[in-house]
């Protein structure tokens, strides 16, 4: 028996329009990615143009942004388009017969005059860190088999220059992947040769071995320097105590004075725990921050400006508008309807994109203006302790936008101030109440905590409980576990790890 039946239900659903989705995606883009996104849109939509890249008469009207007049002043109207079977639109008005017959001329290199410059883009050939090591390895007197083992070891170094592959596994790898039969003794011998290459400490299997390799190299270059001998003994025999900064145990175990211990420890601290970093820095990309906002202080007032690249001069292509007008005025047959719809679609898409860019610009400005108003004391003084407690909801309520919109702006935008360039998230923090009943920012407490640690006695650093009492004396009654949480957020180690002699 079939019990299926039709029922009618009523429910509410929230669906975002394509324009809203496009705006949200544009809003979260930082400036550099926005420029790339605009270029991509111009490539796929020929109806969108950058005013700076065109050469039109300045007296001609332009379409900078969509109107809000319900289409009354649009450059086209659906009702005006009349398709008539009597006449045809001739695309030969735009293309010559030769162009229609053959597009290969666009791919040929002989369609330039003799006066044109012949420019070829240079090919950049950068030397990698592995190339640098292999060049050094080639200067050693090695057999072909040893050279293969050395190159395989170099190829397995990580970004810091360490060899995380056990010798036994290298033997198996070379047999199965390269058909090279070798032994652990042969690999270990070549590994010692690789560890002699520059920079010192390369191809170490752990931090202890890395430091010992560097100290051994220093001792060979300075045979009469006794500090290196003691430093090597500390790393070799007291490495666990050294990493935990149990300096008293080291002095007692090695029977050395605190003065000699300090000199040896200073030599160890000069070593590079990541030997590959110094040599490969030239081949690594350098990332620059491009601020979206600029904040200035003039005559005791905070002034805000938005980077001009956030508001490019975009407009709808005049050639596309003219093409649509010609379609509308001509008596075309219905076979050209697809062409008209294509033009209209591209024009609509361009106007939507321009509108989204304008809305993005407005949203960025009012959001940053609200932040500047709330944190005015900081922008006037540069003192982090003057930052007020501020969460996303505070800014959202001030500008009348959704919290998610403020979050998209704050997570990826930078502002340049007289006191440095900061991510907008820098200005957001929770608040607690001090002894006087005033709400203060947790950032203010962190700043006081950081200053207390910087000014403490390094030979006897304060514990979290002692830091708690320091904050309490300044009027911030917070628990010890909260102090530990703030200390960890600041990247400050526990008191024992901050100890120096």
Domains of the chain with CATH codes:
129-281 (no CATH), 293-427 (no CATH), 431-498 (1.10.10.60)
Determine the pLDDT at residue 282. 43
How high is the pLDDT of residue 349? 85
| Single pTM value for the model | 0.53
CB neighbour class for 394 (10 Å; exposed up to 12, middle 13-18, buried from 19)? middle
What is the band of 373 on the pLDDT scale with cuts at 50, 70, 90?
very high
Q: In this predicted structure, what is the pLDDT of residue 334? A: 59
Higher-confidence residue of 338 and 43: namely 43
pLDDT band at residue 29 under the 50/70/90 scheme: confident
- Measured in degrees and rounded to the nearest 5, phi and psi for residue 414 equal -115, 150
What mean pLDDT value characterizes the chain?
75
Give the pLDDT confidence of 455-474 residue by residue, as tens digits: 888 778 888 888 888 888 88
**Axis-axis angle for helices 226-237, 258-269 (nearest 10):** 80
Which tokens sit at 61?
């009207």
269, exposed or middle or buried, with CB in 10 Å at 0-12, 13-18, 19+? Answer: exposed
Give the residue carrying structure tokens 């998230």. 425
Cα 293 from Cα 409, distance rounded (Å): 12
Closest Cα partner for 161 from 213, 239, 231, 126?
213
Share above pLDDT 90 across residues of the chain, in percent, rounded to a whole number:
5
> What is the arithmetic mean of pLDDT over 5-29?
72
Q: Which of 83-97, 138-152, 443-457 has the lowest mean pLDDT?
A: 83-97
Long-range contacts of 331-334 (CB under 8 A, 24+ apart): 331/82, 331/83, 331/84, 331/86, 331/87, 332/82, 332/83, 332/84, 332/87, 332/88, 332/89, 333/83, 333/84, 333/85, 333/86, 333/87, 333/88, 334/83, 334/85
Of 115-124, 151-160, 491-500, the range with the highest mean pLDDT is 151-160
pLDDT digits (tens, 9 = 90+) for 143-169: 888 888 888 888 888 888 888 888 888
Q: Indicate the pLDDT class of residue 12, thresholds 50, 70 and 90.
A: low
The most distant pair of C-alpha atoms in the chain lies apart, rounded to whole Å, by 109
Torsion sign across C-alpha atoms 188, 189, 192, 196: negative
Q: Is the pLDDT of residue 265 over 90?
A: no
C-beta pairs of 33-40 under 8 Å, 24+ apart in sequence? 34/309, 34/310, 34/360, 35/309, 35/312, 38/312, 38/314, 38/357
């Amino acid at each position: 028996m079939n019990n299926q039946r039709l029922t009618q239900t009523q429910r509410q659903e929230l669906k975002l329009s394509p324009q809203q989705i496009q705006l949200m995606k544009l809003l979260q883009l930082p400036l550099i990615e926005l420029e790339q996104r605009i270029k991509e849109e111009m490539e796929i939509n020929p109806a969108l143009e950058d005013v700076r890249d065109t050469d039109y008469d300045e007296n001609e009207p332009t379409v900078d942004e969509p109107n809000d007049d319900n289409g009354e002043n649009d450059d086209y109207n659906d009702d005006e388009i009349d398709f008539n079977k009597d006449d045809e639109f001739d695309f030969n008005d735009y293309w010559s017969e030769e162009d229609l017959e053959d597009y290969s001329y666009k791919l040929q290199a002989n369609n330039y005059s003799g006066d044109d410059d012949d420019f070829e883009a240079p090919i950049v050939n950068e030397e990698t860190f592995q190339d640098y090591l292999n060049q050094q390895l080639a200067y050693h007197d090695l057999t072909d088999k040893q050279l293969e083992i050395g190159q395989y070891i170099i190829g397995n170094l990580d970004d810091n220059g360490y060899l995380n592959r056990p010798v036994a596994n290298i033997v198996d790898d070379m047999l199965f992947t390269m058909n090279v039969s070798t032994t652990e003794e042969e690999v270990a011998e070549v590994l010692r040769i690789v560890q002699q290459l520059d920079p010192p400490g390369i191809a170490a299997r752990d931090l202890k071995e890395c430091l010992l390799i560097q100290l051994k190299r220093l001792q060979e270059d300075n045979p009469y320097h006794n500090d290196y001998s003691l430093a090597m003994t500390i790393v070799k025999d007291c490495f666990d105590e050294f990493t935990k900064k149990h300096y008293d145990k080291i002095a007692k175990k090695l029977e050395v004075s605190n003065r000699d211990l300090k000199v040896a420890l200073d030599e160890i601290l000069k070593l590079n725990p990541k030997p590959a970093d110094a040599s490969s820095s030239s081949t690594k990309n350098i990332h620059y921050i491009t601020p979206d906002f600029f904040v200035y202080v003039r005559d005791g007032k905070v002034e805000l400006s938005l980077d001009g690249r956030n508001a490019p001069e975009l407009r709808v292509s005049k050639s596309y508008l003219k093409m649509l007008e010609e379609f509308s005025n001509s008596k075309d047959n219905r076979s050209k309807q697809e062409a008209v719809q294509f033009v209209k679609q591209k024009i609509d898409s361009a106007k939507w994109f321009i509108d989204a860019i304008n809305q993005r610009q407005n949203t960025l400005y009012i959001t940053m203006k609200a932040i500047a108003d709330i944190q005015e004391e900081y922008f006037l003084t540069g003192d982090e302790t003057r930052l007020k407690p501020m969460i996303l909801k505070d800014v959202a309520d001030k500008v009348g936008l959704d919290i998610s919109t403020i979050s998209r702006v704050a997570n990826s935008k930078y502002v340049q101030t007289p006191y440095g360039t900061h991510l907008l998230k820098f200005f957001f923090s929770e608040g607690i109440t001090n002894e006087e009943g005033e709400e203060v920012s947790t950032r203010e407490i962190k700043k006081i905590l950081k200053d207390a640690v910087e000014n403490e006695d390094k030979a006897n650093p304060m514990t979290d409980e002692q830091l708690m009492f320091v904050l309490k004396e300044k009027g911030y009654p917070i628990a010890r576990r909260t102090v530990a949480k703030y200390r960890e957020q600041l990247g400050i180690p526990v008191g024992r790890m901050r100890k120096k002699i």
